[in-house]
Structure 1
């Protein structure tokens, strides 16, 4: 059987290796190399970064050739339980929380991957009937699911994102919601999310809420799950959004029959993720926070809710998202803002009537200017709210450069 791998990135190469080991004839196509298309293609494995509108995708679809993603292929070789986690924001942290606890508590092999940066194809052959695979799923990956099934799934939230790829927010949301059809047992949903409320009465739905009673809820001081409660002050990570992530993680672990007290104990040494509200350094009383993983308005909003007296650095590639909903929050929390990248001048103009704003050509200029503008007790928050691809290879590179420059400050 001839398989064409579209995209020679990490996930494509991993899927290719897995299929070759299982007797398939594998060919690769990449736009950057102008690869030739082999004859008699029976199956196409598409990189998540390649949109459905790609001419070659349309070509194969018109010829009724099956097109799937790397996660779909890998799931055919994945044994044991699968946890699928998606959401516009928080999915990486929640995935990491669940994996961190299971590594200590699960009596079997535990794997982590998907959009987390590790292709599922890398570890699928190592799974067995007693293992658990915790898989972070982006909307791009969910698009290409067909027969994939997970035992437990979570949708943390759905807010505007990737509108440079999807025609409307509705199309993006429907892609996220598709995960519900690929769940065999427990579905966990954010009861505060307007788009998810229509599904809350369905069978086997567990909920978490910051506002109302739910299977896991926040009472203003504690997370409450049935007869178990946990003071928020004892969480190993800070931030309003991490209360939600923690509630979702506890419900996942409970669904896997993990004792909640054991779970909380196992999570006490969780350090959070690099580039997600990551403490970098205090310089002359000024705190520097790296939130480079913030690539949309909602993640920027949640970062701002975590700090007072903020000097903000934001901006990046334009994804077609409306920033107007956070103007009042900017007014309340941000003393001064510095904007960079493709969206920089647009954001500078948008927020100029609610706070002092400046456009800077480079990240280094923005950091040094933010330092000069800040006073002892302020927080310089680097939370771009945009993707990185106008100036950097990815958000990881962007965050590492931010930290390197901060280290230069005296």
Structure 2
């Protein structure tokens, strides 16, 4: 059910057709609103056209005529990725027509308390980790949605006051909110990102801080205390109860780490070695997830069991089944050097590394400080020669092959018990694959084939 009385608009323009726009249009029509959907594409996918025709949803395609705003338009609900410099968005703002995103619908219509997680890095893994714990504790009362790929508008009718609405929220979504008020909010970290969309760092930070803008003293904000800029921002702008987390120092309030043990409010919860996922970044993700769980009264045993069985988000340093005593990780989402740096820093064991993909013109020298424990590498794709040259400069034994399947076979043949078999390409996938997801699925498939032999 949704709190329909909280949304008084009668005539709605939905800007952008995709998973989000389609779900918003469907929900608005179900609520009895007059709905018009606008998209720059000339045609709709057949299934979308069929649904809109069946529901009686009007569409205007092929551009963004400003005349769409004439008459009785009460609100424009835009796809979060559409920038505010879009002419229709800019004109709506000029005319005083509210411009919101689906995250604002959550704030207005959700009958369930909202748990919102944002941050520059790690928010997807943190949200999934939190969902894994809460689902163990509360079962189907936990409803997941947002930037994680499940449209908010599709979830809203399913909610009851007894549920928890767990949302991954991007800065794009948050900028389009006015009344969103999570019961629990979390900010994993703040780095430079999306300045092309927001216009400046200040605007980006302001968008992120909207997650706590309407919180009060009965709400909670979990924040990364190791991030000094973020700490200052939350103390200046939030009225919620502040719960810090820090993977580098111990304190009595919030979640922290000391001597490879994780504590909450000064009491031990688990060991860092109980986590399946490697790296300090995943310790930080776990600190957020268990903080949410502790606020909601989840016991340590459930938290420990859940985190020991969480193998990560697919293609994001995802641990898959071991191979001959070696841990195997699928990090196909590592489409650049920064992502592969994080992967390499996550391990102390010897690494058998698979890398390669689309050549964007860059070199790989920035990886130099992080490859001392790489025992060997197999490289493929457009960047194979560049990567091979880099490995030779770093005295890493390297083999050059044409494709990922060959790379997997050779690497699996050399990996030893106790080592890490790491697929972290450091390159985009488009030389041989349509998406990084397809690339990661192929890696998993090739590993499964070898295990079956």
TM-score range (shorter-chain normalised) is: 0.7 to 0.9
TM-score between both structures, scaled by the size of structure 2: 0.75
Matched, 1:218 2:252: no
**Contact conserved, 1:339 with 1:358, CA < 8 A, in 2?**
no
C-alpha distance 314-151 of structure 1, shift in aligned 2 (>3 A): farther
Q: Is the 8 A contact 2:355 2:426 kept in 1?
A: no
Q: In structure 2, what is the Cα distance between the partners aligned to 1:163 and 1:60?
A: 22
Q: Give ranges in structure 1 of 5+ residues lacking alignment.
A: none
2:173 corresponds, among 134, 138, 141, to 141
CA distance in 1: counterparts of 2:192 and 2:386, whole angstroms: 18
Native 8 Å contact 2:103 2:177 kept in 1:
yes
Q: Say whether 1:252 aligns with 2:313.
A: no
Report matched runs for 1:10-409 at 5 Å.
10-33=19-42, 34-35=61-62, 37=65, 38=68, 39-40=70-71, 41-106=73-138, 109-162=141-194, 165=197, 167=199, 171-184=203-216, 185-199=219-233, 201=235, 204-214=241-251, 215-225=254-264, 226-280=266-320, 288-294=328-334, 299-307=339-347, 308-313=350-355, 326-330=367-371, 333=374, 335-336=376-377, 338=379, 354=394, 365-366=403-404, 368-369=406-407, 372=410, 375-377=414-416, 379-384=420-425, 394-407=435-448
Figure out how many residues of one structure are paired with residues of the other and give that number. Answer: 406
Residues 367 and 406, structure 1, Cα contact 8 Å, conserved in 2: no
Secondary structure at 1:245 match in 2 = helix
For residues 166 and 331 of structure 1, what CA distance do their matches in structure 2 show?
38
Alignment CA distance shift 1:326-1:228 (3 Å): same
Distance 1:348 1:197 in 2: 42
Cα deviation digits, residues 15-69 of structure 1 (max 9, x gap): 1111111111111122222446544333211112222233332233333322111
Query: For the structure 1 residues 333 and 400, does the alpha-carbon distance in structure 2 shift closer, same or farther, using more than 3 Å as the test?
Result: same
| Aligned counterparts of 2:25 and 2:369: Cα–Cα separation in 1 | 49
> Could you say if the C-alpha distance between residues 53 and 353 of structure 1 is closer, same or farther in structure 2, counting changes exceeding 3 Å?
farther
Shift of 1:212: 1.0
Q: Could you tell me whether the CA contact under 8 Å between 1:370 and 1:380 is conserved in 2?
A: no
Structure 2 residue runs of 5 or longer lacking an equivalent are 1-9, 43-60
Q: Which has the higher contact order (CA 8 A, sep 6+)?
A: 1
Structural RMSD (CA): 3.8
Distance 2:260 2:358 in 1: 36
Query: In the aligned structure 2, how far is the partner of 1:178 from the partner of 1:387?
Result: 32
Q: CA deviation at 1:309?
A: 2.3
SS of residue matched to 2:183: strand
Distance of 1:48 and 1:389 partners within structure 2: 25
1:157-211 C-alpha deviation (Å, 9 max, x unpaired): 2234446645555554443333232434111111122431324656621111111
Aligned 8 A contact 1:221 1:231 in 2: yes
In 1: Cα distance, 2:415 partner to 2:386 partner:
29
C-alpha distance 405-258 of structure 1, shift in aligned 2 (>3 A): closer
Q: Compare CA radii of gyration and give the structure with the larger one.
A: 2
Q: Which moved more, 1:135-144 or 1:377-386?
A: 377-386
Secondary structure in 2 matching 1:179: coil
Structure 2 CA distance for partners of 1:238 and 1:265, relative to 1, 3 Å: same
Deviates more, 1:81-90 or 1:260-269: 260-269
Change beyond 3 A, Cα 1:94–1:300 = same
Q: 1:80 to 1:284 in 2, by over 3 A?
A: closer
Q: Following the alignment from structure 2 to structure 1, what is the Cα–Cα distance between the partners of residues 161 and 127?
A: 21
Instruction: Mark the CA change 1:28 to 1:206 in structure 2 (over 3 Å): closer, same or farther.
Output: same
Taking a change above 3 Å as real, the CA distance of residues 262 and 169 of structure 1, as seen in their structure-2 partners, is: same
Equivalent residues of 2:357, 2:431 under 8 A apart: no
SS for the counterpart of 1:403 is helix
CA separation in 2, counterparts of 1:402 and 1:172? 36
